[in-house]
Chains A and B, each alone.
Chain A
């Protein structure tokens, strides 16, 4: 009978083998990594574009910024501080435009992701080093994530290398980098919470009362609010403390992750618009993408994908045709389809009580009325900013009321197939099994 230590050692070896197989052969977050990269580059583009009107004052050689001089003996400077070189500093716009162009090409084409990530990383750090004063917490975190992305597989597909040892190596490094990205976000909150907890103003709940009086981090409305209702400072300060302290722990558990991410979005949108730190608040929300499962990421990509079409059918008995006209005009990406009888199972619509229906062409899921409108909004890029408003109205039940008020004359109307002219032109066919 072998000693227990032998069986324990064998178990440990098996666990190590399972771990090493998972690390070196499995890529469980391919869609999440790609989605994160696209959203991150979208944020970085917005961040740069917002500064373009003031490019001379931000990156120009005469900007009111204290810069470290270029050190020709430093390899770091040759790669990440090249924009400060005396002969190049007047051509800073090349770096800006190169960064924007590379990001657009990287997201649209998806080719050579590691090469594009490297170039974007180098250029972005160059621009940050030109104006270190504007590198706030969000930009600092973005810079670190850019470095981790050098090791990350953001192509959305498994590593495509034929030589197995190299493929295993790249997979292991990518998985480790992804984990480091998540940990980096957790470190931000952990450090911030620990530092805040040792501050008297945060302990007493008065931090926000004083912060919202500084011109740089407030808004006149917010200032009046905090001065009139100082209790809000207590609530806000303790909420911030609790969130930052609990996030590093609760984000790892499936049951609490969604709640923590949602609370984080609320907090950071408050920071974006309340305190005026727009890019910081938004980049933290983008970082939350790292904590999504691949299944959720795939769902998000599918929800917003212009390639996955949506069939839209309006009941001609309801006054909604004018809306269809507008939807056709706004459908620049061609994501909507206004179907004929060949596309739709007539039997599923026969005598159905509805005004507007949207059917997902990929999985046949059917959305009715206000939910159809919500699904259509997600497919039209120009209407995307309305989606959060729509979601909020729907959550409180106001969207349904508003929809009925706008699009219903007298309750719901039944649709008979004779009402759809296209159905009448086609002979009887077997139901299309793609649609439910």
Chain B
């Protein structure tokens, strides 16, 4: 009987060890950069790992995100015309800086993602446009001008989400809390734009009045508030 249990223990150990090693091997292949092993086993590793063991350990590496991308909104009312551009997340950021132990950081992920994904979509379309036109075209050429790209972007689901976000902001809603915006005003049109803020270079750190090295804008066309048609 004891010999039987010993054999059983060895067999069981072998099976458990093989299973654990296989799992680790699949994890290693899944996480590894392109290499010969990934070329052969990449599909198997993806099939094994996804979706339960999905993982990504970039954690600010190799190239951390160093720009801040935001969505600024302005609203046109019948009474007052266009308001000034504002960042709907300003109060949320202030609360995030004040209350470190809170859910505000996760809300910033949610709302910050709208601008981030829109910008990524914009960059992707711009890159595709440049590739599809003939070589030698600069950025300023009409085919790949920013306003043409933004018009193409209006068909995307990302734009639709950004538009819904801007509409709710103009209606008086503010992420994470209520809003001081005059919700009784009659909103006529809304407009939003992407702002990408570039950090100060090391050489610029002593320039006291400067917060950002550069700011890039991508302005979308105003949208009629009630019908959501673009003007």
Please list the residues of chain A having a beta carbon within 8 angstroms of any beta carbon in chain B: 16-17, 19-21, 23-25, 50-54, 57-58, 63-66, 76, 80, 131, 133-134, 136-137, 140-141, 144, 147, 164-165, 168-169, 172-173, 176, 179-180, 183, 187-188, 191-192, 195-202, 206-207, 209-211, 213-216, 219-220, 227, 230, 272-273, 276-279
Task: List A contacts of B19 (CB < 8 A).
Answer: 176
Chain A residues whose CB sits within 8 angstroms of the CB of B117 once the complex forms: 66
Most chain A Cβ neighbours within 10 Å, of B13, B31, B59, B93: B59
Tell whether B140 is near chain A: CB-to-CB under 8 Å.
Answer: no
Inter-subunit contact B57/A195 (CB<8 Å): yes
Interface centre among A131, A183, A227 (most CB of B within 10 A): A227
Cβ of B78 under 8 Å from chain A: no
Q: Establish whether residues A199 and B63, one from each chain, have CB atoms under 8 Å apart when the complex forms.
A: yes
Query: What residues of chain B lie closer than 8 Å to A191, measured between beta carbons?
Result: 31, 57
Contacts of A172 in B (CB 8 A): 12-13, 16
CA distance A25 to B23 in the complex (A): 23
Say yes or no: A213 contacts B20, CB within 8 Å. Answer: no
Per the bound structure, the CA–CA distance linking A71 and B165 in Å amounts to: 27
Q: CB-CB < 8 A to A131: which residues of B?
A: 110
Contact indicator A134/B68 (Cβ below 8 Å)? no
Residue in A179, A206, A210, A230 with the greatest tally of chain B CB atoms within 10 Å: A210
- Residue B66 interfacial (CB < 8 Å): yes
Q: How far is the CA of A260 from the CA of B169 in the complex (A)?
A: 47
Question: Which residues of B lie under 8 Å from residue A219 when comparing CB positions?
Answer: 97, 100
B58 engages A195 (CB within 8 Å):
yes
A216, B107: Cα distance in complex, Å: 11
Distance in Å from the Cβ of A79 to the closest Cβ of chain B? 10
5 contacts between A and B (CB under 8 A): A50-B102, A133-B113, A140-B56, A173-B16, A191-B57
Q: A54-B103, A57-B107 are in contact. Are A17 and B10 (CB under 8 A)?
A: yes
Task: Check A201 against B64 for contact (C-beta < 8 Å).
Answer: yes
Contacting B112 at CB < 8 Å: which of A21, A140, A198, A216? A216
Tell me, in angstroms, the Cα distance from A195 to B63 when the chains sit together: 9
Number of A-B contacts (CB under 8 A): 181
Chain B 171-212 interface mask (CB, 8 Å, partner A; 1/0) = 000011000000000000000000001011010010000000
Q: How large is the interface on B (under 10, 10 to 19, 20 to 34, 35 or more residues)?
A: 35 or more
State which residues 95-114 of B face A: CB under 8 Å: 96-97, 100-103, 105-114
| Residue among A131, A180, A197, A278 having the largest count of chain B Cβ atoms under 10 Å | A278
Residue in B16, B31, B113 whose CB lies within 8 Å of A187: B31
Compute how far the CA of A202 lies from the CA of B64 in the bound complex, rounded to whole angstroms: 9
Residue contact B68 to A216, C-beta cutoff 8 Å: yes
State whether A137 and B57 are in contact (beta carbons under 8 Å apart), knowing that A214-B67, A216-B108, A276-B96 are contacts in the complex: yes
8 A-B pairs with the lowest CB-CB distances in the bound complex, closest first? A199-B62, A195-B61, A196-B61, A213-B199, A191-B57, A20-B13, A210-B66, A50-B103
Instruction: Tell me if B161 counts as interface (CB < 8 A to partner A).
Output: yes
Judged by a CB distance under 8 angstroms, whether B215 is at the interface is: no
Among B109, B158, B200, point to the contact of A134 (Cβ < 8 A): B109
B136 within 8 Å of A (CB atoms): no
Cα(A214)–Cα(B96), bound, Å: 13
For the complex with contacts A131-B110, A207-B64, 10 further pairs of A-B residues with Cβ separation under 8 Å are A23-B16, A50-B102, A147-B52, A172-B13, A179-B20, A191-B31, A192-B59, A197-B62, A216-B68, A276-B97
Q: CA–CA, A191 to B65, complex, Å?
A: 18
Known contacts A198-B62, A276-B100, A58 near B23 by CB under 8 Å: no
- Chain B, residues 12-29, CB within 8 Å of chain A (1/0): the string is 110011011001100100
Return chain B residues, CB-CB under 8 Å to A215.
68, 70, 93, 197
- How distant is B59 from chain A, measured CB to nearest CB, in Å? 4
A422–B225 Cα distance when bound, in Å, is: 81
